[in-house]
Amino acid sequence: MEFVNSLEGGGISVKVVRDLKEDEAVAAIPKAACLTIKNSQACELIESMDLGGILGLSVALMYEKGLGESSPLAGYLQLLTESECVHLLWKLDEVDRFLQDTELHKVKLL
């Protein structure tokens, strides 16, 4: 693999430089590196307000961004764009296609 600058949005892409075997993992991302309500420093506050789903995650994101460099997720957060168009309402077949084999795919959706 190699990292390359993405032409769209100024992001970074991962490019495979050889043929892959079926079911071969190309990357592993530790759960601790993913922003979730549970690993946010605002977890207790979010849960006490009974916030969940996208609203709870939005609060976690705002909280962690507000912490700046003192957030354990600062490295990840600096990679995020200031705004992003996110589809909040996916059809079931889209959920299966986009999230298959991810931790999110195993979560019970509303």
Give the burial string for 28-60 (b: 16+ CB within 10 Å, else e): eeeeeeebebeebebeeebeeeebeeeebbebb
- Taking the CA atoms of residue 14, residue 9, residue 33 and residue 29 in that order, the dihedral angle to the nearest 10 degrees is -20
Decide if 1 is inside a domain: no
Does 18 fall in a domain?
no
**Beta bridge pairs of residue 4:** 13
* Residue 14, in any domain of the structure: no
pTM value is: 0.57
Residue 17 lies in a domain: no
Task: Tell me which of 88 and 68 has the higher pLDDT.
Answer: 68
**What is the domain extent for residue 53?**
29-106
Please give the pLDDT value at position 63. 95
SS3 12: strand
Tell me which of 32 and 6 has the higher pLDDT.
32
Does 101 fall in a domain?
yes
The answer to the question of residue 85 being in a domain is yes
Domain count for the chain, please give it. 1
The amino acid present at 35, given as its one-letter code, is L
